[in-house]
Amino acid sequence: MKVGIIMGSISDMPVMKEAIEILKQFGIETETDIVSAHRTPEKLFDYSKNAHLRGFSVIIAGAGGAAHLPGMVASMSPLPVIGVPVKSSNSIDGWDSILSILQMPGGVPVATVALNGAKNAGILAAQILGSHDKNILEKIIAYKEGLKASVNQSSESLKQ
Ligand code: RP5
């Protein structure tokens, strides 16, 4: 089981590396590549059509601007696709990326996370794998316990 992480440009990497890092923390194998919907359409087609045959279970796709990458992957792949809107320009505050990824037509879902939300994309991918892998599920449970402990610790520190 491995997660495919793709992005439209190397300039998306500072955001997308958070997905790679959190999946590494969960001990989940990833493979990262640059696939541009507009600049490498043949590669997009090949990647989307073959990802499930190459052992991927989930695809995380990040892009900015006219961010058609996640939706186009979802149109051709049977795998769940998680879309990460990347804030790549300041012109309209990332709304271009968000709306391009979020507003998919019925029948072709993309699970869209927050703007620059690559960490959550990684966690969601782990949860999808964890739904049928006990080992990963245990790690997700421990991760959530860690979140709770950290909030409780902050709360306690206010009382001292
Ligand atoms: C999108 O355009 C990429 O996903 C990136 O977010 C944005 C800018 O790409 P570069 O011009 O930096 O290659 O396709």
Q: Is the CB of 100 under 6 A from ligand 1?
A: no
Residue with tokens 């959530």: 144
Place of tokens 């992957």: 73
* Residue 38: other Cβ atoms inside 10 A: 13
Cα–Cα distance measured from residue 76 to residue 12, given in angstroms and rounded to the nearest whole number: 22
Secondary structure of 50-110 as H, E, C letters: HHHHHCEEEEEEEEECCCCHHHHHHHHCCCCEEEEEECCCCCCCCHHHHHHHHCCCCCCCC
107-143 as b/e, with b when 16 or more CB fall inside 10 Å?
Answer: eeebbbbebbbbbbbbbbbbebbbeebeebeebbeee
Distance CA 79, CA 98 (A): 21
Residue with CA closest to ligand 1 atom 3 = 8
Residue 35: CATH number of its domain: 3.40.50.1970
Please give the number of the atom of ligand 1 that sits closest to the Cα of 12. 6
**CA–centroid distance, residue 11 to ligand 1 (Å):** 6
User: Strand 81-86 relative to strand 29-34: parallel, antiparallel, unpaired?
Assistant: unpaired
Identify the H or E element spanning 30.
strand 29-34
| Binding site membership of 12 for ligand 1 (Cβ less than 6 Å) | yes
**Ligand 1 lined by 112 (C-beta under 6 Å):** no
Q: Which atom of ligand 1 is nearest to the CA of 11?
A: 12
Domain residues for the domain of 57 are 2-159
Mutate to test the pocket of ligand 1, among 10, 12, 116 (most ligand atoms within 8 A of CB): 12
What's the CA-to-centroid distance between 22 and ligand 1, angstroms? 23
CA of 71 to the centre of ligand 1 (A): 16
- One pLDDT digit (tens) per residue for the chain, 160 residues: 899 999 999 999 999 999 999 999 999 999 999 999 999 999 999 999 999 999 999 999 999 999 999 999 999 999 999 999 999 877 799 999 999 999 999 999 999 999 999 999 999 999 999 999 999 999 999 999 999 999 999 999 999 8
Q: Is the CB of 65 under 6 A from ligand 1?
A: yes
* Distance separating alpha carbons of residues 103 and 95, to the nearest angstrom: 12
Residue closest to 67 by CA, chosen among 103, 43, 33: 103
63, β-bridge pairs = 85
Does residue 15 line the site of ligand 1, with CB under 6 A? no
pTM over 0.90: yes
Q: What is the CA radius of gyration of the chain?
A: 17
Give the total number of structural domains in the chain.
1
Whole-angstrom distance, CA of residue 85 vs CA of residue 97: 5
Q: What is the pLDDT of residues 13-38, one digit of tens each?
A: 999 999 999 999 999 999 999 999 99
